[in-house]
Amino acid sequence: MQRITYRAKASARGAKRRISYILRPSKRLLNTESNIVPAIASIKVTRFAKTKKLAQISSIALLSLPAESLTTMNNQVPAYDHVMLEKTLTIAAVPGDSTYFATDGFQHGFGYDLVRNYADELGVKVTLKAYADEEAALRALQSGDADMALTTASTQLKSQLNLSSINVSCGYDASLTKNGLHPKVSWTFNSANDPLSQKASYFLCDSIKLDNTQKLAAFYNQDLLKDAYSQDHFKTTLTEKLPDYQSSFEEQARNYNHDWELLVAMGYQESHLDANAVSPTGVRGIMMLTNNTAKAMGVSDRVDPYQSIGGGARYLEQMKTDFADVPKTDRIWFALAAYNMGPNAVKGIQRKLSAKGIDDKSWANIYAYLSDNKASNSRYGQAMHYVSNIRSYLETIKTATV
């Protein structure tokens, strides 16, 4: 930080010296009375040149310094300008149910996904800096280490630090609480007048965006394992059944490049880890494979736990490959939806979104489409719950909260 500040001061002194040199009167003009008329014309040209040069120097100085150190003309560069110059939106955040989840490479979360959507609209990438508590994240924003903060900090704390914030629900807090999310998830900025803050407000409170925010909140529902029965059933199953199959999950995960706990979450969603499970439609085993899928994956015995887990792992890997053009953060949700309803169904939705100019590689947009059309297609509702449940089970397994 000292080096950055020194560069800022040195650059400012250098700019001042160059400006002083440009503004210094010409000795030839001051000492020669016989050239008065030509001098007047020269002065006009010189004034124009000086103004142009001064603007150039000021622009170079403004763009070359970090936002937190820049005080040229006593005006701090807006965070928006810094973000657009660097093509990066840096956020300070505290991990949590309503902000973001990042364990073993599974980086996602309600607040985080909203930030990614905002960054996409700005045409920049996201860099996330994690902090242990709300105050640390807000002070990082205040000091210029971040462009905005994603927290559930109190209004009192933000006021004490003289920061401005926007609730991501844009006042519709009930849409968050009904999904078990914190009602005061907010984006915080150094100034309400910064275009970064103003554009964020328009982004969050736009009627279409607000509707999609509420749908995204449903995907990140935190209430699935909150009731006593669900908690007890999940805990009992993992305690009593998982030890018999854990080595199979771990080995097949290595074989097909998966996180083994993701496969466990899928197994619980499919059969509650019951190797002999059979559905009315004829799917069987821990991973509930259809007869056709089992044959295609080389599975001869669907109720054999090792084969079933291997078949499911191999099929999931194929789904991930089918959606390799989707950003990694969202790819697993696409793959899970395809595992449940078939890859062609998901790609069909993508084509419809793309035709409307909507980003078809954003899971938030796919989920919104499923939600909007579930009444006319029951498979859409099933896929929504399938992916949401696995996400919830995975987070619970990794955080050991049950």
How many CB atoms are closer than 10 A to CB 170?
Answer: 17
Q: Of 1.10.10.60, 1.10.530.10, 3.20.20.70, 1.10.10.1100, which CATH number belongs to 228-399?
A: 1.10.530.10
Catalytic residue, chosen from 68, 261, 270, 395, is 270
Q: Percentage of the chain surpassing pLDDT 70? A: 81
Average pLDDT over residues 346-359: 97
Average pLDDT over residues 294-312: 97
Residue 104's pLDDT band, with cuts at 50, 70 and 90, is: confident
Average pLDDT over residues 323-340: 96
pLDDT of amino acid 50: 44
Average pLDDT over residues 262-281: 95
CA torsion through residues 207, 156, 68, 22, sign:
positive
- Residue 196 in this model has a pLDDT that exceeds 50: yes
Tokens, residue 4:
């950055």
How many CB atoms are closer than 10 A to CB 85?
Answer: 14
CB 175, CB 216: distance < 8 Å? no
- Residue 48 in this model has a pLDDT that exceeds 60: no
- Residue 302 in this model has a pLDDT that exceeds 50: yes
CB 221, CB 179: distance < 8 Å? yes
Write down the CATH superfamily of domain 79-219: Periplasmic binding protein-like II (3.40.190.10)
pLDDT of amino acid 401: 62
- Residue 197 in this model has a pLDDT that exceeds 60: yes
pLDDT of amino acid 157: 96
Verify whether residue 121 is a known catalytic residue: no
**For residue 188, which of 205, 165, 204 has the smallest C-alpha distance?**
165
Strand partners, 92: 129, 149
CB 182, CB 152: distance < 8 Å? yes
Residue 103's pLDDT band, with cuts at 50, 70 and 90, is: confident
Residue 147's pLDDT band, with cuts at 50, 70 and 90, is: very high
Summary mean pLDDT of the chain: 85
Considering only residues 333 and 68, tell me which one the structure prediction assigns the higher pLDDT.
333
Distances (CA, A) of 191 to 138, 159, 197, 284, 325: 13, 12, 7, 57, 37
Tell me the HSE value of 307 on the side-chain side, using a 13 A CA sphere: 17
